[in-house]
């Protein structure tokens, strides 16, 4: 049988589970509220839903530690983004108790970040991290949180649609410093990710077979893939071979290229072109492969897209695509009109005229 008692000015409750006594503060100075707290605990014990006292001691720091441990155990590549999400969450919530992270405060977090100019996509990354923290905490034995609060996700409308025309590619290539030209060319033709290019080493290049081999575990989706070198691509790698200096194919004085933001911005400024992302080269490569008639399955293998949904986000239909499509439809209608006029004028007669007219319709 449980009991309620005073400790100083605060009421505490005592109850039993499997013969073991538990004591905790009711966090109230009113006996009636303490008794309600006792009944709640006794009901949880009877129904087998007693979460244990640890859930009242778990803090955001504990959730974050478990979250990062899961990243390290599974060797996830996006740990830096995970650490950034934790930083954002701690800036707002501090090291509060996990039980104090309720939906109302989460919504306040969202509105605060929006007011500070953070994009919905970035806020969603933080919210997804928070969800994962609670999920991992609930899976522990015993669980260190009583449950997961409702965490609303935001609608994202920040999908980038940038791409490079061939004329822009040539203009930018001409303005980039020599150590960046090959990086830009590989990105434009293959859609390789920036880090895949910057970490590319000579043991991954086979000049005889004209291939680049990206080993499993070195790519974002952890799948190996082989890229074939032809034309300008092959010439670019040969030029790098002539200037070989160390293990990296693309280097800056023999060292891995790390930050090229200044050179990048300067090239766009000198070319008189609005600055674009390096990642836009990836979208450009996918679009160009599809335009060239390469089957989508093959294009996905080259670009390293694992899922169709993500690939479709990169296979962007732009205004030029729409213009070309409209012109093709217009040309088709003109052909039909010309055919009908010839039939009516008697230029085309007989069976050929009939079948042609039906096709025109």
Give me the mean pLDDT over the 288-297 stretch.
Answer: 75
Q: Of 198 and 296, which is predicted with more confidence?
A: 198
Q: What is the pLDDT of residue 304?
A: 64
Name the residue with tokens 């934790």. Answer: 86
How does pLDDT run across 227-258, given as a tens digit for each residue?
888 888 899 999 999 989 999 999 999 999 98
Q: Of 230 and 46, which is predicted with more confidence?
A: 230
Structural domain boundaries in the chain: 3-50, 60-139, 166-314, 319-360
Would the CA dihedral through 291, 293, 297, 302 be positive or negative? Answer: negative
Instruction: Assess whether pLDDT exceeds 50 at residue 352.
Output: no
Give me the mean pLDDT over the 152-170 stretch.
Answer: 80
Q: What is the pLDDT of residue 353?
A: 47
Would the CA dihedral through 296, 297, 302, 308 be positive or negative? Answer: positive
For residue 317, give the 3-state DSSP assignment. coil
Give me the mean pLDDT over the 139-152 stretch.
Answer: 84
Q: Model's pTM, two decimal places?
A: 0.53
Q: What is the pLDDT of residue 60?
A: 94
Most confident of 250-254, 348-352, 354-358: 250-254
- Alpha carbon of residue 42 to chain centroid: 45
Q: What is the pLDDT of residue 140?
A: 84
Please confirm whether the linkage preceding 246 is cis (ω < 30° from 0).
no
Q: What is the pLDDT of residue 163?
A: 84
Instruction: Assess whether pLDDT exceeds 90 at residue 300.
Output: no
Q: What is the DSSP string of 143-190?
A: -SSS-------PPP---------HHHHHHHHHHS-HHHHHHHHHHHHH
Q: Of 334 and 212, which is predicted with more confidence?
A: 212
Mean of all residue pLDDT scores within the chain: 82
pLDDT band at 261 (very low <50, low <70, confident <90, very high): very high
How does pLDDT run across 178-211, given as a tens digit for each residue?
999 999 999 998 888 898 899 999 999 999 988 8
Q: To the nearest 5 percent, what fractions of the chain are helix, strand and coil?
A: 55, 10, 35
Q: Which CATH class is domain 166-314?
A: mainly alpha
Instruction: Assess whether pLDDT exceeds 50 at residue 15.
Output: yes
Q: What is the pLDDT of residue 56?
A: 72
pLDDT band at 128 (very low <50, low <70, confident <90, very high): very high
Q: Which of 137-146, 221-230, 313-322 has the lowest mean pLDDT?
A: 313-322
Q: What is the pLDDT of residue 49?
A: 64
Give me the mean pLDDT over the 44-51 stretch.
Answer: 69
Tokens of 108: 């306040």
Give me the mean pLDDT over the 42-60 stretch.
Answer: 73
């Amino acid at each position: 049988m449980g009991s309620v008692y005073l400790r100083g000015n605060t009421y505490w409750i005592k109850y039993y589970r499997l013969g073991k006594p538990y004591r905790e503060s009711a966090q109230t100075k009113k006996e009636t509220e303490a008794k309600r707290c006792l009944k709640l605990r006794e009901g949880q014990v009877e129904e087998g839903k007693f979460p244990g006292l640890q859930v009242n001691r778990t803090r955001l720091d504990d959730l974050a530690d478990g979250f990062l441990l899961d990243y390290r155990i599974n060797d996830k590549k996006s740990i830096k983004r995970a650490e950034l999400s934790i930083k954002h969450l701690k800036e707002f919530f501090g090291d509060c108790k996990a039980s104090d992270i309720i939906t109302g405060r989460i919504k306040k977090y969202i509105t605060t970040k929006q007011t500070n100019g953070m994009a919905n996509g970035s806020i969603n990354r933080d919210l997804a991290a928070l969800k994962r923290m609670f999920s991992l905490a609930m899976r522990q034995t015993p669980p260190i949180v009583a449950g997961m609060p409702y965490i609303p996700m935001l609608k994202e409308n920040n999908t980038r649609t940038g791409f490079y025309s061939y004329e822009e590619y040539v203009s930018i290539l001409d303005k980039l410093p020599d150590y960046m030209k090959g990086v830009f060319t590989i990105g434009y033709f293959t859609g390789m990710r920036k880090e895949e290019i910057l970490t590319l080493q000579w043991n991954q290049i086979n000049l005889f077979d004209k291939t680049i081999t990206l080993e499993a575990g070195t790519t974002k989706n952890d799948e190996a893939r082989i890229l074939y070198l032809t034309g300008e691509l092959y010439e670019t790698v040969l030029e790098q071979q002539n200037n070989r200096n160390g293990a990296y194919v693309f280097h800056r004085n023999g060292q891995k290229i790390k930050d090229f933001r200044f050179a990048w911005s300067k090239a766009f400024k000198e070319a008189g072109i609005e600055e674009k992302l390096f990642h836009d080269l990836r979208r450009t490569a996918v679009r160009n492969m599809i335009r060239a008639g390469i089957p989508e399955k093959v294009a996905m293998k080259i670009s390293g897209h694992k899922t169709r949904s993500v690939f479709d986000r990169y296979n962007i239909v732009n205004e030029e695509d729409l213009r070309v499509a409209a012109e093709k439809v217009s040309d088709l209608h003109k052909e039909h009109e010309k055919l009908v006029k010839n039939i009516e004028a008697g230029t085309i007669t007989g069976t050929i005229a009939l079948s042609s007219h039906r096709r025109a319709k």
